[in-house]
Amino acid sequence: MNDFVLWAIEMVQSVDPVLRTVLAGVAVMLETSILIGLIVPGDTIVLVASIGVTSWVEGIALGVTVIVGALIGESIGFWLGRWAGPHIRHSWLGRRIGEDHWLRAERYLLRRGGVAIFLSRFLPVLHSLVPLTVGMSGYAYRRFIAWTLPACVLWTSIYVGVAATAAGNYDELASRVHNAGYIFVAIIIALLIAVVIGKKVLSRVEARHMARDVDANGSGSSSEPPTEP
């Protein structure tokens, strides 16, 4: 296992760091825009790219690039929603996604406002639908960015930070621990499991805000309406 993990890390590191960084940024940009996020595994690509980080400079460059890519993707989704949201919603792809998902995104934004924008970055399906929905709602772009920026920073810190730290310390770990390869794999698996569980828990906690009927005490409406200028 140690040899396999070392081979995997070295293989990723053999790719030009600039290319790795650009690919990760583009993957995240696509994931958060034009509904491509429903099929492009941006988080997986970022995770793999993070394993190849060999210095703090590369780590910072990757983190910044991923954040910028996410913000560009979110912005593309927002402006597409503003300019062509209804057309996209009623297009072939929009119908394939399902009207129920669109309605859930609308209800979530209406009831949670900026909080919905922040949390949607960590929710399946909604991370691609919410930017479009926000654009259609009339929500101010500056407010949208103010909520989505910290979410992108937090998301990037988790993925890049954990994977890059684990890979960067692997050589030292392997020299001290016989089963270092298993420990490394366990860390990556634990991260993926934690992300999946976290998304499921967050989805359940927030589900009531997306339901068709919410009682007056549990509406979760935001003090920042999505229609503010």
User: Tens of pLDDT along 1-55?
Assistant: 556 666 677 788 788 999 999 999 998 888 877 666 566 677 888 988 998 888 8
- Amino acid residing at 214: V
Residue 219 pLDDT level (bands cut at 50, 70, 90): very low
CB 108 within 8 A of CB 226: no
Instruction: Give CB contacts under 8 A, 24+ apart, made by 54-58.
Output: 54/13, 54/17, 54/168, 58/17, 58/21
Helices (H) and strands (E) in the chain, counts: 11, 0
- Scan for tokens 């979760």, then name that residue: 220
Q: Within 13 Å, how many C-alpha atoms sit on residue 127's CB side? A: 27
Question: Phi, psi (5° rounding) for residue 220?
Answer: 65, 25
Q: Which residue has the tokens 């103010």?
A: 146
Pick left, alpha or beta for residue 185 (phi over 0 → left; psi -120 to 50 → alpha; otherwise beta): alpha
Q: For 53-112, how does the pLDDT look when each residue is reduced to its tens digit (9 = 90+)?
A: 888 899 999 999 999 999 999 999 999 999 998 998 988 888 888 899 999 999 999 999
CA dist 86 and 172 (Å) reads 54
| DSSP category for residue 98 | -
How confident is the prediction for the chain on average, in pLDDT? 83
pTM of the model: 0.80
CB 122 within 8 A of CB 202: yes
Condensed to tens digits (0 to 9), the pLDDT of residues 140-196 reads 999 999 999 999 999 999 989 888 887 777 666 666 666 777 777 788 788 888 888
pLDDT of residue 6: 64
